[in-house]
Structure 1
Amino acid sequence: MMAATSDERTVMESTRANSEQNQVVDRLKMLYPMVNEEETPLPRSWSPKDKYNYIGLSQNNLRVHYKGFGKTHKDAASVRTTHSIPAACGLYYFEVKIVSKGRDGYMGIGLSAHGVNVNRLPGWDKHSYGYHGDDGHSFCSSGTGQPYGPTFTTGDVIGCGVNLVDNTAFYTKNGHHLGIAFTDLPPNLYPTVGLQTPGEVVDANFGQTPFVFDIGDMINELRVRTRLQIINYPTPDHGQGQWQAVLHKMVSTYLVHHGYCDTAEAFANSTGQVFEEDFNSIKNRQRILKLVLAGRMGEAIDLTSRLYPGLLERDANLMFALKCRQFVEMVNGSDSEVNFSSNDNQASVIQSTKAYTKLTNNGNIEEMNLNNSLNGTVAETHFINGQIENNDVDMEDNNTTSNINGVKNSSTNGYQYGNTNANGYKCQNGEDIDMEIDSANQNQQQNGTSGNMENSMTSTKCSKKQLCGGNKQAIEKMLEFGRQLYSQSIHLRQLYGKNAANKKMLQDAFSLLAYSNPWNSPVGWQLDPQERETVCARLNSAILESTNLPRRPPLEVAISHAQDLVRLMSSAGLGACGFAVVDNIIQY
């Protein structure tokens, strides 16, 4: 095997580093799901600024070594982490491995507040707490220690945990819990390590790698405790069955809101409620939302206009959002406007990018994408010094299996629906909506592929996603629709002023044309069927509001309020919020 070049090694190392970084982020999110690091960052390394000068740092500021004289206690030196422990952690834990105990092993591991003297070992001063290796004593804001645990030396792993629900701290040694060391802890403490004699070296693990101690059991215990505390909290019921009736009504309105007609009626009957909902209204919304979830946006818009006249005319921004989604579905080949049952004249929209127009800083992305569309061109674009540079992509028109219907097939084809031979979509209520099967797929089914490897490969490649289904007439229709959509955006801007959300929708939608394989592109996320749910919910809310019903069901509003309340309590330092994940409590 040939040795990797320096460039290849750099790429591999970069990929490995990114993978490791993602794993760290995922681990920390799993440990501390309620922490918002934009507001309260987690401790991830030792601070090169918040330390005594006898402390040396290395290995991404995770290794600490002593570089002082080590003659007396006045030579002690400590270092704190870059950030304090967020209350939203609920239970915070870190570990320190003793790489070398050095001359005497005068090491302290613990916690301290900001501003505590770093020319001391943790635990000796006020708002400072430490467990020392030379004698196994715990030090709580005092130079006098108390017997606590065993001594520790080279090779040992010492863990320090902070229970932010009870405001206590505990330690572990080589995976064994040593019991509670400190109580009544103040907030905003920093993980701290102190060394005192030459040769002492320790490594920290703030969650970058799995811990020696199984912290998961303690986290689960506190999670269950918090959940039971919430569930068992006494709620005064001033009227007999009042709360129960309110909850039943909330569930019923939620089912009606999302169109679960039969379920809503059955639930109302089983709970003694009078079901007075308009069945026709629910069925109408169901029909519209099924079309949206199937990607048939043109039909959904037409049906909405017929069933709810004037609704979309009154809400121009909603109409624009639906049209942007329709453009995306046209690119996807899902919208009925471009879902032809004939594959005649199939060709790539990508013919040449020679007519591509460079834009100056005064240009805008909508015009650039529209120009591309008007010229029947697509290019991968890069912004350089305020201009857009092109990587021309010329597509050849031939009948080989590697170039089906004029569109080159990439080895990665982006998102595909589960069944490549039928355009069926699964809706939220579990019912299927069958779309037309294009004749290319029909021909494959008629001709058959058994016993012929070459035919089998050709059939597989033919079933891959193509722009507008690979139909030239559909592509032309999509481009004309894009022109109209752009004109509509200008009209809206003239009537109502600039709208950042509308501008981004249009940019994202038009940007799909900049790639030969939009499903496998940076903007390909738009083609994921899950993206239909956002516009689906928006349209559903608008329909409900037009019939004097709430835009959002009370149950969802109550859940949102609960989530916001938990976030507020968390920012106020209430540690139990680290285990009050609303979604988990509801599922319980």
Structure 2
Amino acid sequence: MVSDQQDLIGPYFLEMCKLNSKAWTDMEMEEEEEVPTELDTVNSSGGFAVVLPDRLTVQYSSVNLHEHDVGAVQANRPAPVKRLVYYFEMFVKNHGAKGKVAIGFTCEGYNMRRQPGWEANSYGYHGEEGKFFHGQGNVEDFAAKFEAGDTVGGGINYATQDLFFTRNGVIVGTVYKDVKVPLYPTVAVHSQNEEVSVNFGKEPFRFDLKAYEAQERAKQEMIIENVSLPQNVSYEIVRSYLLHYGYEDTLQLFDMASKSTAPSIPLAKENGFTEPEMYALNERKTLRQLIKIGKIDDAFGKLRDWYPQIVQDGTSATCFLLHSQKFIELVRDGKLEEAVAYGRINFEKFYRLAEFDNLVKDCAALLAYEQPQKSSVGYLLEDSHREIVADAVNAMILSTNPNMKDSQGSLHSYLERLLRQLTACYLERRSLNGDQGEAFHLHKVLTSSKKV
């Protein structure tokens, strides 16, 4: 009989099949945020600032009579938050009568007749004296003043929760961002004939943003590298992964290569067993190899001989995954009539079960295309789908281990559990920062490492 623990495994891998129907970037990457592209021409400062038709240039067209005759303009959208860094720049075309231009960040609903940094939830780097303003009465000596011909920039580092400002491509100051609300890139003019233009990234920045991001990532990596870990822990984690998925041949080569560089340390319990038992390692290796080369009938035969309890219930999710893979292999080999006959016999008992419906329909849809590999259901013909079926069978065998404590031990290796925990920690840290900053995306990490 199939245990309650085993009942959880099939549905889990059915869900993996659904996820596999999407590209890695769709699975891992979050919905792309809208970014600022131009200045807001609706939220007005009462005529003190005029936004030109390009929606990137601001002029002060009035005569400054009062201290509050400011012309501040926000971007059309707040700075995106689910990233490492956001940055924009302002070029000072004319510093006007008094040179009171400013750059910074302000919150939604900000009073456009106030310089950024004069009110709560706002920050501003001001050109007249080169000072930094943050909220009412908070003024700091910051950097050199800026004037006509200068390019100044403002950025948000979400990893450190800092704001930074630049002048002509060089960082001139950094301050802590003590609010979690969305912030709008903002520029302001405050005396006659002042004129500035904004670059939201359509043109190359004066500041080397990519180098800054690389530097910030290097700082994070250095912190990680300085964490003290037990001797040889990475070796054991990789080894446990190979054990978990039954990669026996790779495991032997890994052990041989590691003998000269990795001193042996006791292996912790791996999915409920310890060396030298390595529960059903050879059987799991054999079944994985059969499934990966498309020999599903042979895999069924081995399972009936070795683990009949896994396939005796012909309506289990594991049986369905194997039957669907057999159907897929027939389509792959161009045996369409045989695939139709096989599907009619073996899919009939799954038609009315909602959990199998999507995969049954996708399998059937393979028959509708002359080139199914290029279709929306082409994912079924990729090696990654075979891997999911092999992983499901592997997990079911591990679940028969009498020493198994819980289903997680058969579903995930220690390495995968560590990655899941890392992802959860990143999300928790981001939540504490007002849902601002990057999440952990393994695919992005692996891709970036290949470019180094």
TM-score bracket, normalised by the shorter chain, equals 0.7 to 0.9
Q: Percent identity?
A: 23
Distance 1:208 1:293 in 2: 47
- In 1: Cα distance, 2:423 partner to 2:350 partner: 36
Q: Does 1:89 align with 2:83?
A: yes
Alpha-carbon separation, structure 2, partners of 1:150 and 1:125:
21
Query: What is the alpha-carbon distance in structure 2 between the residues aligned to residue 313 and residue 76 of structure 1?
Result: 76
Residue 44 (structure 1) aligns with? 36
Distance in 2 separating the partners of 1:277 and 1:530: 30
Query: What is the 5 A alignment of 1:572-587?
Result: 572-573=432-433, 578=438
Q: Which residue identity is paired with 1:481?
A: Y
Does 1:177 find its partner at 2:170?
A: yes
SS across alignment from 2:363:
helix
1:564 corresponds to: 424
Task: Give the distance between the partners of 1:69 and 1:90, measured in 2 at CA.
Answer: 39
The CA distance in 1 between the partners of 2:386 and 2:184, in whole Å, is 45
CA shift for structure 1 position 309: 0.9
TM-score by length of 2: 0.72
Based on CA coordinates, which of the two structures has the bigger radius of gyration?
1
Instruction: Give 1:476's aligned residue.
Output: 337
CA change 1:166–1:47 in 2 (3 A) is same
CA distance in 1, matches of 2:213, 2:361: 44
Query: Hey, what does 2:74 align to over in structure 1?
Result: 79
- Structure 2 CA distance for aligned equivalents of residues 525 and 62 of structure 1: 44
How much does 1:331 deviate? 1.5
Mapping for residues 412-451 of structure 1, pairs under 5 Å: none
Is this contact kept in 1: 2:73–2:112, CA < 8 A?
Answer: yes
* Compared CA separation, residues 140 and 35, structure 1 to 2 (3 A): farther
Residues in 1 aligned to 2:214 and 2:299: alpha-carbon distance in whole angstroms: 46
Would you say 1:527 and 2:378 are equivalent positions? no
Partner of 2:179: 186
1:392-403 matches, cutoff 5 A: none
The match for 1:508 is 362
Q: Is the 8 A contact 2:105 2:123 kept in 1?
A: yes
Question: Do 1:110 and 1:130's aligned partners in 2 also have CA atoms closer than 8 Å?
Answer: yes
Aligned length: 394
C-alpha separation in 1, matches of 2:61 and 2:305: 82
Q: Could you tell me how far 1:480 is from its partner in structure 2? A: 0.9
Q: Partners in 1 of 2:43 and 2:312 — Cα distance?
A: 61
Q: Which amino acid aligns with 1:160?
A: G
- The corresponding residue for 1:331 is 331
In structure 2, the residue matched to 1:554 is: 414
Residue 288 of structure 2 corresponds to residue 289 of structure 1: yes
- Is this contact kept in 2: 1:161–1:171, CA < 8 A? yes
Secondary structure of 1:74's partner? coil
Does the CA-based 8 Å contact 1:70-1:76 persist in structure 2? no
Could you tell me which residue of structure 2 aligns to residue 313 of structure 1?
312
| C-alpha distance in structure 2 between counterparts of 1:35 and 1:192, whole Å | 29
In the other structure, the counterpart of 2:240 is 253
Shift in alpha-carbon separation, 1:517–1:163, aligned structure 2, 3 A: closer
Alignment partner for residue 143 of structure 2, among 123, 126, 148?
148
* CA-atom RMSD in angstroms: 3.9
Write out per-residue CA displacement over residues 22-48 of structure 1, whole angstroms, 9 at most, x where no aligned residue.
Answer: xxxxxxx9xxxx98457xx46433556
Alignment check: 8 A CA contact 1:122 1:128 kept = yes
**Mapped pair 1:120 → 2:114:** yes
Match of 1:204 among 196, 199, 203: 199
Distance in 1, matches of 2:329 and 2:51, equals 54
Q: SS where residue 164 of structure 2 aligns?
A: strand
TM-score (norm 1): 0.57
C-alpha deviation, 1:131, in angstroms: 2.5
SS of the residue 2:351 aligns to: helix
Unaligned segments of structure 2, at least 5 residues? 1-24, 268-273
Determine which structure has greater relative contact order: mean sequence separation of CA pairs < 8 Å that are 6+ residues apart, divided by chain length.
Answer: 2
Q: Which residue number in structure 1 is paired with residue 348 of structure 2?
A: 487
Q: Distance in 1 between matches of 2:74 and 2:437?
A: 29
Which consecutive residues of structure 1, in runs of 5 or more, have no partner in the other structure?
Answer: 1-28, 236-242, 334-467, 469-473
Deviations, residues 504-527 of structure 1 (Å, cap 9, x unaligned):
112222222222222222332332
**Judging changes above 3 Å, is the alpha-carbon distance between structure 1 residues 536 and 52 closer, same or farther for their aligned structure 2 residues?**
farther
2:405 aligned with 1:543, yes or no?
no
**Distance across 2 between alignment mates of 1:561 and 1:110:** 36
Q: Which segment drifts farther, 43-52 or 307-316? A: 43-52
